[in-house]
Chains A and B, each alone.
Chain A
Amino acid sequence: MASRHRELGLTDSEYELICQKLGREPNGVELAMFSLLWSEHCAYKHSRKLLRRLPTEGERVVMGPGENAGAVDVGGGHAVAFKVESHNHPSAVEPFEGAATGVGGILRDVFALGARPIAILDSLRFGELDSLRSRHLLDGAVRGIGHYGNSIGVPTVGGEICFEAPYEHNCLVNAMCVGLAKRDEMVRAAAAGVGNAIVLMGASTGRDGIGGASVLASAELGEGDAAKRPTVQIGDPFEESKLLECCLELLGRGLLVSLQDLGAAGLTSSASEMASAGGVGVDIDVARVPLREADMEPFEIMVSESQERMLAVVEPAKVAEVVAVCEKWQTGAAEIGAVAEHGLVRVLRGADVVGEMPVEALVDGCPLYDLEPEAPEGWVYGNRATLGAGAGAAETLLALLATPSVASKRWAFEQYDSIVGSRTARRPESADAAVLAIPEAETAIAVSIDGNGRRVACDPYAGTVEAVLECAQNLACAGAEPLGLTNCLNFGNPEKPTPAWQLDRSVQGLADACEALGVPVVGGNVSLYNEGPEGPIYPTPVVGMVGELPRADAAAPSAFAAAGDAICLLGPFEPTLEGSELAKRRGELGPGLPQPDVAAVAAACAAVRDAARAGALASAHDVSDGGLACALAECAIGAGLGCRVDLQHLRERGCTPEEALFGEGAGGFVLSGERARLEALASDGVAVLYLGQVGGEEIEIAAGDRSLSLPLADAEAAWRSLGERL
């Protein structure tokens, strides 16, 4: 036992603390359970103190952090639940199942609240596509997401995919789910009612994923990863579809006291967390758990991460009815324990007690650590020039449009069912955010997921503020006002000074941006130790936002609409090349990013949002990767119409022709429509610059000595070239 705890990821002092709390040494079952609940993935020991900085309250918040997912009120007695979670380490080892079970897990978090999942979005990051490994991971992850989402009948309506060398050994797969619930049918996770039954529903329990949370998610990846393959969970969306319908029916009929999904650390975490939330204890009899393999040990049963399982607390008189509903939906149901007064998590095998730990010790007893942040000297990520210094402006634009991170992701999203459920008013790539109709509440919502790694590496504070602003800008184009935010923080090893500094600064940026915008954080996820032998990933906060709009058609499309329409640039956009896609292609990345003016960007968002709702915009598209030239090209390509613009007014803000064309930063919106109506959007706090007109078959951009003109067809060929690289 002396070093067994170290093999399971516990430090010596953590082990001593466990012994103290138990008053003795833990036995095998108890040690396994502590090692999981005290792992970084479950206990958030390096991040929990930082997360306390995030604003979590707001008028529309129905459920905040700490529940299975967050939820906001959308009127008409309805709430929209949503959350994003990572499944990075399993996807790096087995991308199909890793991504699939990532989707499965986030779906369960949402329907555990009593919300029917209505949309999925995914944020994916891989190494550059010239690596066979990255092509393999991309292909597997996209197929896995499609497999799970399509089979269970929840549309995948949006997402992003990005390619950067620092993700080569540590890909990121962040899955977000949005669900709809009637407020009076929602349920919390807290176990309650001493003597109530604990019922395990869904699939049987096997050996998959054992140790996943501690082995995979709480440690760096390195050699010998193939040996970790048994720790990747296997998903079955059909099983989950039955479980989902069953749970929603049970909740609709008021048959459950509480509900919790089984995710990382399986029964251990869900039983313990339910007990902790309810201030009670639980007795769990592993002999009553339906097993996939007959000879499983108690500790295996408690830590298995077999998918598609939920834990419910049920009043004894209702158990028979619950079992009947499960049988109707052909999903498993077994009464495996009871809520107890003793404040312990007590594991039994039949009559024998095989483990007994205070709930408080398991769930809240883990020490929380302070980071020891230290800003790095200079740029620690390397540079690689892939675009010649002498490239002309047109050639540069084509190169940027063809860059996999910028290019159309149609190759990927055509593998996803984006329309099942009949709510999707804006399909992928047709607007800056996905738009879903909510006729039940006579409203509509817009959803976007946006992250940035490279720019956050340049300045973790400013880069994170930008990520939040980008999400808000996308929602504004869709005429939506943000209601709440979820985030996934993907960082390196927090015990090392640079990732610690990145995490600290990024969380501060997230907190400040949310506070300034008045958008509460209703939940999220942290994934640390994303590091390999070559160093940490880019610090990558991924932000998901849900906003409301009065009618689905209040969302402006991204692409130009008609020849002759005016094109304007709205917002405090002051582009620089720092951290830009162009700087990356030239091998000129380094620390530093301009500080965004949050108030000015917020004012721009409000102006665009109101204009979209008023029908004043033929199109709206925010400026992001690749800068204004890429944004204009995307609007043109989507419309099959060229444009002729002059960036002189933008240059008068003090940027060079190249910065005007390809510089990046927050606060830029490309709008099209009737010139007078667009220019009328200007006010004291909001600038509108006339750029030019939609029309023709060329993209013509006047920008001093970097003016360019290229055929729309060439731009389209470049932008749609992703599939050819795979």
Chain B
Amino acid sequence: MRWGVLQFPGSCDERDALRACELAGGEARLVWHETRDLDDVDAVVVPGGFSYGDYLRAGAIARFSPAMEAVAEFAAAGGPVLGICNGFQVLCEAGLLPGALLVNEGMRFVCRQVELEVAAFSPPGGGQSSNIAGETLSIPAKHGEGRYWAPDETLDALEASGQVAFRYAPGQNPNGSAREIAGVRNAAGNVLGLMPHPEHAVDEMTGSTDGLRVFESVAGVLA
């Protein structure tokens, strides 16, 4: 299993993602934003941070990078893609996921452990064994622009088609996201984005290890 973690100028959590991928199983390497080289990669992670300083809008510039062009092709071919926080923002800007992430309701950056409910969820490329539907995961969130939004008709459609992947548990929504949505997937099910950071929940020393479930699920492998 080989993971490719994108790296943009301003990415912050890419090394954390590399480590999490390896803990989940397999090897991981960085994919420099100027390259299109995903040939040896089985799954892609678009990591958290402040790519391009969040200039213009969070993720607005990174989505034009050569690496993201390669990711779009990779996703179109059914390859699994996981976008975390800024990565989720990049995937929305690139049109690979529906909706948008807006400024937090409280107008401030929030760093807080949150409980996530995993919604009905068939993992990309995998079978039932990596289905984490119905689980509750303790994962840290840290962002200033994480309020998920889409027009009501879009939200209705996402819910109907099972594309809402994660919701904040009652009372846990840190940013005012519509319908408590913390993460969504595309219609084909192979592209997943979420605002909280599963790569920061993989080691008991630093907190919960629930984040590993997300990586394992994307890899289609259960530890």
Residue numbers of A with Cβ under 8 A of B are: 143, 146-147, 150-153, 236-239, 241-242, 329-330, 413-425, 427, 437, 552-553
Contact = CB atoms under 8 A, between A and B. Distances in A.
A418 to B, nearest CB: 6
Contact of A237 (B13, B53, B111, B206): B53
Given A238-B55, A415-B109, A437-B205, A420 B13 contact: yes
A242 B12 CA distance: 11
A148 to B, nearest CB: 11
A308 to B, nearest CB: 11
Contacts of A152: 12, 50
Given A150-B144, A238-B10, 9 more contacts: A237-B50, A238-B9, A239-B53, A415-B108, A420-B12, A421-B15, A422-B15, A437-B206, A553-B205
B52 A238 contact: yes
A242 B142 contact: no
Contacts of B207: 419, 427
The 3 A-B pairs of least Cβ separation, nearest first, read A238-B53, A153-B12, A151-B50
Contacts of B140: 419
B2 interface: no
A417 B205 contact: no
Interface in B4-44: 9-13, 15-16, 19
B213 interface: no
A153 B49 contact: yes
11 contacts: A151-B50, A238-B52, A238-B54, A241-B50, A414-B110, A416-B109, A418-B111, A419-B142, A420-B200, A422-B199, A427-B207
B9 A242 contact: yes
A544 B96 CA distance: 47
A630 to B, nearest CB: 25
B34 to A, nearest CB: 9
A435 to B, nearest CB: 9
A422 B111 contact: no
Contacts of B55: 238
Contact of A424 (B12, B199, B206): B206
Given A415-B109, A416-B111, A422 B206 contact: yes
B54 A151 contact: yes
Interface in B37-67: 49-50, 52-55
Interface centre among A236, A422, A437, by most chain B C-beta atoms within 10 angstroms, is A422
B53 A552 contact: no
B16 A420 contact: yes
B206 A419 contact: yes
Interface centre among B11, B50, B199, by most chain A C-beta atoms within 10 angstroms, is B50
A152 B109 CA distance: 14
Interface residues of B, number: 29
B203 interface: yes
Given A414-B110, A419-B140, A425-B206, A241 B9 contact: yes
A238 B9 CA distance: 8
Interface string B169-208: 0000000000000000000000000000101100101110
A694 B10 CA distance: 46
B111 A552 contact: no
Nearest to B199: A422
Nearest to B17: A422
A239 B54 CA distance: 12
Interface centre among B12, B112, B140, B199, by most chain A C-beta atoms within 10 angstroms, is B12
A329 B8 CA distance: 10
A150 B50 CA distance: 8
Contacts of A423: 206
Interface in B111-133: 111-112
Given A419-B200, A419-B207, A153 B9 contact: no
Contacts of A236: 53
B24 to A, nearest CB: 14
B50 A422 contact: no
Contacts of B205: 425, 437, 552-553
Contacts of B49: 153
A147 B144 CA distance: 10
B16 A417 contact: no
Contact of B16 (A146, A422, A425): A422
A299 to B, nearest CB: 31
A237 B52 CA distance: 10
Nearest to B110: A414
A437 to B, nearest CB: 6
A425 B204 CA distance: 9
A722 to B, nearest CB: 14
A151 B108 CA distance: 14
A329 B109 contact: no
B112 A414 contact: yes
A664 B13 CA distance: 42
A240 to B, nearest CB: 10
Nearest to A418: B111
A370 B11 CA distance: 49
A414 B111 contact: yes
A146 B203 contact: no
Contacts of B108: 143, 146, 415
Contacts of B54: 151, 238
A241 B52 CA distance: 10
Nearest to B52: A238
Given A146-B109, A418-B111, A420-B13, A238 B50 contact: yes
Interface in B96-113: 108-112
Given A415-B108, A415-B110, A330 B9 contact: yes
B61 to A, nearest CB: 11
Nearest to A139: B108
A416 B11 CA distance: 17
Nearest to A428: B111
Contacts of B109: 146-147, 150, 415-417
A151 B86 CA distance: 11
A427 B50 CA distance: 22
Nearest to B113: A427
Contacts of B142: 150, 417, 419-420
Contacts of B15: 421-422
B112 A153 contact: no
B214 to A, nearest CB: 16
A241 B16 CA distance: 17
Contacts of B10: 151, 238, 241-242
Contacts of A239: 53
A151 B53 contact: yes
B65 to A, nearest CB: 12
A422 B53 contact: no
Nearest to A436: B206
A420 B19 CA distance: 12
A482 to B, nearest CB: 22
B111 A417 contact: yes
